[in-house]
């Protein structure tokens, strides 16, 4: 793991799940970290899990003003990361979804474009942008067309931007099924259901947010990696 002393890291969606794990890892490595989320409640919970020097701020991927205010406060950014979903997703066959339901999943993509559009100029020429995508972009399952199409758009965006913003770098990290709070709705059956859902993949378990954070640290700091999707998915794409 690299030393991030004297580096400025901004994480959008940094108050829970994978984003929070990135915040924790970057902070432990010595970075000055700005963690943004759209929920005051999540911010207060995240503060209890992080060092005092992490700067938590309210910001929404769909609100230009809040993003610009955050980036202006951070100043020159070494590493900009976005793990914010910012979308309502419907799991159902394409023909059974309304146009509005299908389009709603793309709010993740549009949120990412706002993060990059507003934040790119603040990123140093030696810095990078990292976006969190997901295995549905290349692992197709019935009922998940909106997720797959959104993920595909995000990954194409990353590759297209890599040739436009060079020498700045932009990469993606694609997690598989990760054990985060989003699965808490399963209640007491959560662990067993996650085990059942991942029994068929090579690693035979759900991933941890910290494992994905390691992939994000690599993607954002490796100076010869751009336009790349780093898969942290336990072999999901192989099955």
DSSP letters spanning 192-204: HHHHHHHTTSTT-
Tell me the pLDDT tens digit for each residue of 108-141: 999 999 999 999 999 999 999 999 999 999 999 9
The arithmetic mean of pLDDT across residues 177-198, rounded, is 92
- Write down the pTM of the prediction: 0.96
The arithmetic mean of pLDDT across residues 75-88, rounded, is 93
The arithmetic mean of pLDDT across residues 205-227, rounded, is 98
pLDDT number for residue 52: 86
Class of domain 8-232: alpha beta
Statement: residue 15 has pLDDT above 90: yes
CB 224: neighbour CB atoms within 10 A?
Answer: 6
Statement: residue 2 has pLDDT above 70: no
Confidence of residue 170 (pLDDT cuts 50, 70, 90): very high
Q: Is the dihedral of CA 137, 141, 145, 147 positive or negative?
A: negative
What are the residue ranges spanned by the domains of the chain? 8-232
Q: Which DSSP string do the residues of 99-133 spell out, in sequence order?
A: HHHHHHTTHHHHHHHHHHHHHGGGEEEEEEEEEE-
pLDDT number for residue 51: 83
């Amino acid at each position: 793991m690299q030393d991030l002393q004297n580096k400025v890291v901004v994480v959008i969606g940094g108050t829970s799940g994978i984003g929070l794990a990135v915040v924790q890892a970057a902070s432990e490595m010595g970075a000055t970290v700005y963690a943004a989320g759209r929920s005051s409640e999540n911010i207060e919970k995240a503060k209890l899990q992080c060092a005092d020097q992490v700067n938590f701020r309210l910001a929404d991927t769909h609100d230009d003003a809040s993003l610009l205010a955050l980036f202006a406060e951070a100043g020159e950014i070494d590493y900009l990361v976005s793990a914010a979903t910012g979308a309502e997703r419907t799991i159902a066959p394409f023909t059974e979804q309304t146009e509005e339901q299908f389009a709603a999943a793309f709010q993740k993509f549009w949120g990412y474009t706002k993060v990059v559009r507003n934040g790119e100029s603040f990123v140093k020429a030696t810095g990078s942008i990292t976006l969190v995508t997901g295995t549905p972009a290349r692992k197709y399952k019935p009922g998940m067309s909106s997720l797959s199409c959104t993920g595909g758009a995000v990954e194409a965006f990353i590759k297209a931007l890599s040739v436009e913003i060079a020498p700045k770098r932009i990469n993606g990290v694609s997690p598989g099924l990760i054990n985060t709070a989003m699965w808490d709705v399963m209640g007491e059956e959560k662990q067993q259901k996650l085990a059942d859902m991942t029994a068929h993949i090579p690693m035979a378990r759900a991933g941890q947010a910290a494992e994905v954070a390691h992939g994000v640290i690599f993607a954002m700091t490796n100076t010869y990696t751009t336009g790349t999707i780093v898969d942290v998915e336990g072999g999901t794409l192989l099955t």
